[in-house]
Amino acid sequence: MTIEIISNIALPALQNKLLNKTAQKRVEHVFKHMEGPFALTSSFGAQSAVCLHLLTQQFKDIPVILIDTGYLFPETYQFIDQLSERLQLNLKVYKSHLSPAWLESRYGELWSKGLSGINKFNQIMKVNPLNNALNELGINTWFSGIRNSQSDTRRNKKVIEYKNQRFKIHPIIDWNDKDIFQYLKKHNLPYHPLWEKGYVSIGDTHTTQPLSANGSSQNTRFFGLKRECGIHE
């Protein structure tokens, strides 16, 4: 494999190169020229089938990292099983060292304790397990399905980032909802089961609301106090 050496000077050039490619060609370029091991992180959220299909078409056994907080919707666990079987995913499930019961015994319901409580919950149950996964699997380049149009916090995200000694690739960063719909339809892929019930961003049961609850997609998570769980910040 040819390893493309990236410096702070070369990164913008690679960004422009990838930006002018299709999502499929972006993925192909990264697999051919950048440093592995590779992984895809997935929340198995509303539109996650797109990236899961996109990546596994070119790298069937790519590790798919799922962070299981223990508070996901029953429909999410069913969706995980459905897509894992259909796409034959190489699923890697990581969890916090604290179970939900132990977490609540020690700290109470952190998600109900304002922004500081939410941040602490996310660090313990999401960010730390993800860091453990990336380190344990030795990942140098990881893919994520986030998009600019999803929120203000993602509006300025690029196709490629370099952070914490790793490359982070967003192959569908510039896709809109129509692009997502057309890809899902073309490949006969499903939305998350809760999509039909008005959930546009799906995380834990206690911090996720349907769009009808407040009318703003950015406020459907974490009671409108924040949008990101910390993984993409």
CATH number where 47 lies = 3.40.50.620
Structural domain for 100, as ranges: 11-224
Chain centroid, CA 216 distance in Å: 20
| Mean pLDDT, rounded, for 36-58 | 95
The tokens 């982070």 sit on which residue?
Answer: 168
Copy the structure tokens of residue 65.
Answer: 């990292």
The 8-class DSSP code of residue 232 comes to T
- pLDDT at 165 > cutoff 90: no
Catalytic residue status for 229: yes
- C-alpha dist (Å) from residue 105 to 84, 108, 110, 207, 232: 33, 6, 11, 19, 28
Catalytic residue (choose from 229, 231, 232, 233)? 229
Render the burial of 30-64: b for 16+ CB within 10 Å, e for the rest.
bbeebbeebbbbbbbbbbbbbbbbbbbeebeebbb
Strand partners, 157: none
1 within domain boundaries: no
Confidence of residue 228 (pLDDT cuts 50, 70, 90): low
93 within domain boundaries: yes
For the chain, how many structural domains are there in total? 1
Lowest average pLDDT, out of 41-45, 119-123, 195-199, goes to 195-199
Interval 177-195: pLDDT, tens: 999 999 999 999 999 999 9
- Side-chain-side CA neighbours of 117 within 13 Å: the count stands at 15
Q: Which residues have a Cβ under 8 Å from the Cβ of 180 and sit 6 or more positions away?
A: 47, 50, 172
167 within domain boundaries: yes
Interval 69-119: pLDDT, tens: 999 999 999 999 999 999 999 999 999 999 999 999 999 999 999 999 999
- Provide the edge-to-edge strand list for the sheet that holds 38-41: 90-94, 63-67, 38-41, 141-143, 166-169, 160-163
219 within domain boundaries: yes
The overall average pLDDT reported for the chain is: 89
Interval 122-147: pLDDT, tens: 999 999 999 999 999 999 999 999 88
**Contact criterion met (CB below 8 Å) for 194 and 73:** yes
How far is the C-alpha of 114 from the C-alpha of 30, rounded, in Å? 40
Q: What is the pTM of this model?
A: 0.90
